[in-house]
Amino acid sequence: MRAGMIAFAVLTVAFLVVSLPPYLSLDPAQSRVAPRADYPLHYPLLWAHIMFGSVALVTAGLQIWPWLRRRYPAVHRWSGRLYLFGGVFPGGIVVLGVAPVSTTGPISAVGNTMLAVLWLGTAVAGYRAARARRFADHRAWMIRSVALTFSIVVNRAWILVYLGIFSLFGPVDDALITAAAGASVWTSWIVNLLVAEWWLLRRGAGRFS
């Protein structure tokens, strides 16, 4: 468990250090995702999504840290509220204005839109379970939610894997990059969700604290 927590923290920090800087200037010209000229809200929504996503990613790490949860339950409650109301809920809603017009084609667009809907749905289910004091259900839904949040980090590794595989069969052109982007979006959240389900089955929803 400790090794898993350290890996989560290191990968999260590495992802944020590499991904965030182009967006801190608020300059659309620095964006790695080319803002769409025909859609003025594209960049503001993408930017807001990245800021809320960063809050979600950092607080997700705090939420799944067993020591913090046991030792400081009040911190767990407050960072949980921040995860939901300062991260997943606003981040998931604004990304619904970005995902369907993905710059990397329809396969990415559908995969990211499904991810956004599941991201919101699992978080709503986790919040409702906590309010109803169904804590085993709450933990299970939050494990699924965090698995989806973390899919953005593993996505970067999957895209390299797919670029490597696809380039064995053809030239590295725009079509190949679009295919690798689409495949990596779907793979990252489906595999993360399957790992979460495996974890829940193995440990039992109420027994992993």
Footprint of ligand HEM (CB under 6 A): 19, 32-33, 46, 49-50, 53-54, 56-57, 95, 98-99, 102-104, 108, 112, 115-116, 119, 148-149, 151-152
Give the 3-state DSSP-derived string for the chain, with helices as H, strands as E and coil as C: CHHHHHHHHHHHHHHHHHHCHHHHCCCHHHCCCCCCCCCCCHHHHHHHHHHHHHHHHHHHHHHCCHHHHHHCHHHHHHHHHHHHHHHHHHHHHHHCCCHHHCCCHHHHHHHHHHHHHHHHHHHHHHHHHHHCCCHHHHHHHHHHHHHHHCHHHHHHHHHHHHHHHHCCCCCCCHHHHHHHHHHHHHHHHHHHHHHHHHHHHHHCCCCCC
Residue placing its CB nearer to ligand HEM in the complex, 153 or 200: 153
Task: Output 50 or 130, the one with its CB closest to ligand HEM.
Answer: 50
- Residue 133 CB, nearest approach to ligand HEM (Å): 27
Return d(Cα 123, Cα 52) in angstroms, integer: 14
- How many Å apart are CA 63 and CA 43, to the nearest integer? 30
Structure tokens at 54: 């960063």
Min dist. Cβ of residue 168 to ligand HEM (A) = 24
Please report how close the Cβ of residue 167 comes to ligand HEM at its closest, in angstroms.
Answer: 20
Length of the chain: 209
Q: How far is the CB of 98 from ligand HEM (least distance, A)?
A: 5
Q: Give residue number: closest CB to ligand HEM.
A: 53
Query: Please, which residue, 102 or 187, has the CB nearer to ligand HEM?
Result: 102
Residue 152 or 180 with smaller CB distance to ligand HEM: 152
Smallest distance from ligand HEM to CB 205, Å: 22
How far apart are alpha carbons 64 and 80 in whole angstroms? Answer: 10
Least distance CB 206 / ligand HEM (angstroms) = 26
Q: Which is nearer to ligand HEM, 88 or 129 (CB)?
A: 88
Name the residue nearer to ligand HEM (CB basis): 79 or 151: 151
